[in-house]
Amino acid sequence: MVIKKAEILGYCMGVRRAVETAELACIENPDKKIFTLGPLIHNNSALEALSEKGVNVLKEDASDFVSDGQSVVIVRAHGVPPQIMENLKKKGVTVIDATCPRVLSSQKRAADYAGKGYTVFLAGDKNHGEVAGISGYARASGAECIVIEHKEDAEAVEHVPEKSVLLSQTTISKNEYDAIAAALKAKNEQLVVLNTICPATNERQNALIELCKDVDGILVIGGRHSANTKRLLRTAQELCAHSALIETAKEIPAEFFSLSRVGLTAGASTPDFVIDSVEAALSGHGSC
Ligand code: SF4
């Protein structure tokens, strides 16, 4: 069997940085308790590996955190609103900020426009931590921040003030963002539309499209609840005769062992060791 990996797969820059930051925090602070605000990553295998290294998970807003002065709290790649950061610092804990640089840039741009008197429109999922963080920065700088989830929400907006800016959650699809921007622009031509979409999702999609040309089946490795992993599966289903989403090597469907050429891709939260174990299991060297 020939096994081919997509040219770009697995951890994106921000997630890799956050995981490495947590691992380093465990090594550098052997006498302290290490916490993350919410799960660091949408992948059970990665979370189990971090837990074994001593990383504990708090609620996203840290409401369950009791400070003992001996704790390190890591802010994950999605970032948090400034109020949560300040509250943690007041409690005397060591805060390590692993917010992805791309998300930091969105937070800063939202705050800058808000400070100049703009109304901030933010396209994304209302319940997502990144959206809570970015809107928190806009509001802390004195602006109204209106979160828009879908084109229909944008169409329902009654008034887009003269000084308005639109930015997005980093992982929104470009089509969805373009539709939201068009609906708001129809109400105010002067709307400033910023491009804050991260290329990580598209890069994995494009690499998968290329890979589908060369293989008989695709295994998408990643968490079943990860949005970008599910999007990879949809593309594989459209372009390849055999496709499946698996979280670990144990879940490889039997049919894949009889294919001649199998392609592997993985979501942006899938650790390298899980990808390696799937590859090893397929080539007959691993346990599955
Ligand atoms: S998807 Fe992009 S913005 Fe989000 S953590 Fe990864 S690199 Fe950062």
Question: How far away, in angstroms, is 78 Cα from ligand 1 center?
Answer: 8
Of the residues 20, 48, 52, 130, only one is catalytic, namely 130
pLDDT tens for the chain, residues 1 to 288: 999 999 999 999 999 999 999 999 999 999 999 999 999 988 899 999 999 999 999 998 888 888 777 899 999 999 999 999 998 888 888 999 999 999 999 999 999 999 999 999 999 999 999 999 999 999 999 999 999 999 999 999 999 999 999 999 999 989 999 999 999 999 999 999 999 999 999 999 999 999 999 999 999 999 998 888 999 999 999 999 999 999 999 999 999 999 999 999 999 999 999 999 999 999 985 444
Same structural domain, 117 and 184: yes
Same structural domain, 181 and 117: yes
CATH number of the domain to which 235 belongs: 3.40.1010.20
Residues with CB under 6 A from ligand 1: 12-15, 77, 100, 102-103, 170-171, 198, 200, 268
Distance of alpha carbon 226 from its chain centroid, rounded?
8
Of the residues 99, 131, 148, the one at which a domain ends:
99
Of the residues 99, 117, 137, the one at which a domain ends:
99
Token output for 252:
């490889």
CATH number of the domain to which 73 belongs: 3.40.50.11270
Any domain includes 53: yes
Question: How far away, in angstroms, is 269 Cα from ligand 1 center?
Answer: 10
Name the residue of 21, 100, 131 to mutate for ligand 1: max ligand atoms within 8 A of Cβ.
100
Count of domains observed in the chain: 3
Question: How far away, in angstroms, is 19 Cα from ligand 1 center?
Answer: 13
Any domain includes 287: no
Of the residues 173, 193, 213, the one at which a domain ends:
193
pTM of the model as a whole: 0.89
Atom from ligand 1 closest to the CA of residue 171: 1
Closest by Cα among 137, 139, 140, 165 to 148 = 165
- In terms of residue numbers, what domain contains 84? 13-99
Taking each helix axis as running N to C, give the angle between helix 129-140 and helix 82-90, from 0 to 180 degrees, rounded to the nearest 10.
90
H/E element holding 72? strand 71-75
Any domain includes 288: no
Active site residue 155: no
Same structural domain, 19 and 58: yes
